[in-house]
Structure 1
């Protein structure tokens, strides 16, 4: 059976961020505290993966490292529980209940993938050092406008490339030819626009079905 996933980064007024915080921030913290989550993160930080073209048919050590990275970058169970109103407390839907009536498509980065995960390709393409500069946990975050402004310099460091660096990242971004906005471009665009507009950001890495 195939899967469909989405990595979304949407911009919101601080009033919306404040309403979401009691629900969303504990979910993100829970993802970070899942058994072995930090261990998987540290393993990837210590030993970046080789080219994705070498993963299949690799030796046992590389295969284990790839499996660990796949677990790290897959949508987490706590965030996932609130995707379809399956949370333990109420019928909160993490997608439907964060949209605003006046929300513009320009205030969102969205990458929907079939049989793949945008966050996974993004992380592999930029590598662990740059990924460590992205706030939150594995594509999931909730930031006020002030936090967006404060984190923008680090996100710019993570996602600004020389021509050679960009070519190397493009080579490892296996979603580069998809019809969505490139995962190497969309997040920084969204951060800069939110900072300029005085908006907060909400990021969610989800498996839709």
Structure 2
């Protein structure tokens, strides 16, 4: 059975961010504090992965690489805690991520949304930019909740993470394995565009990476 995942970054007023905080912040904290996730993060930083086109030429000598790839993909495939925002917190909770967050603002320009079948946008994004740039991204593995002030204060580090020379841009694009439609933003351009627009508009941001099917 295939899967479909989504990585979304939506912009909201601080009143909405404050409303979401009790629900979202503890889940992101639980993801960050997970010992398995921390171990996988450290392993990726110690040994960044080679070009993804080399990952599945399996031989006995490639076993350490295969283990490293599996670890990285598990790190970036979304966690069970944030997944509750989509699956539901409990039978008595009528909160739904699509209705109460993604569709809350009618302006499509206030959202970056990357949906992919049999793949995770966050995995390709992190592989494309590498661990040192990924460490500059706020939150944990694509998940964050930021007030307008926090968006403004983190914008310089996000710009450092996602600004490239011509050569760096070409290398990052080669490492981004996702297929895009002509009118679809890539993971290398959408997040920075969203951050800049939110900072200019005085809005906060909610980022979530999860499985939707």
SS at match of 1:150: helix
- Is 1:178 the counterpart of 2:185? The answer is no
Within 5 Å, which residues of 2 pair with 1:22-37? Answer: 22-37=22-37
| Structure 1 residues 141 and 195: CA distance shift in structure 2, 3 A | same
Q: How has the CA–CA distance of structure 1 residues 88 and 60 changed in structure 2, closer, same or farther, with 3 Å as cutoff?
A: farther
| Corresponding residue for residue 205 of structure 2 | 201
Displacement after TM superposition at 1:103 (Å):
2.9
CA distance in 1 between counterparts of 2:132 and 2:92 reads 37
**Is structure 2 residue 199 aligned with structure 1 residue 190?**
no
Question: Structure 1 residue 75: deviation in Å?
Answer: 1.4
Give the CA deviation at 1:79.
1.0
Correspondence for 1:128: 131
**TM-score where L is the length of structure 1:** 0.95
After TM superposition, list the pairs within 5 Å mapping 1:98-109 onto structure 2.
98-99=101-102, 101-109=104-112
Residues 102 and 4 of structure 1, relative CA distance in 2, 3 Å threshold = closer
Matches within 5 A, 1:53-132: 53-58=53-58, 59-87=62-90, 90-99=93-102, 101-132=104-135
Runs of 5+ consecutive residues of structure 1 not aligned to the other structure: none
Query: Structure 1 147/4 Cα, relative in aligned 2: closer, same or farther at 3 Å?
Result: same
Size of the aligned set, in residue pairs, is: 208
Deviation at 1:94, TM superposition (A): 2.4
Alpha-carbon RMSD: 1.3
- How does the TM-score come out when normalised to structure 2? 0.94
| Deviation sequence 1:154-191 (CA, Å, 0-9, x none) | 0000000000000000010011x411311100000000
Distance, in Å, in 1 between the alignment partners of 2:16 and 2:82 is 18
CA deviation digits over 1:8-59, x for unaligned, max 9? 0000000000000000000001111223111100111111000000000240
- 1:40 maps to 40
Deviation at 1:89, TM superposition (A): 6.6
CA 1:100/1:128 → structure 2, altered by over 3 Å: closer, same or farther? same
Q: Secondary structure at the match of 1:71?
A: helix
Alpha-carbon offset, residue 108 of structure 1: 0.3
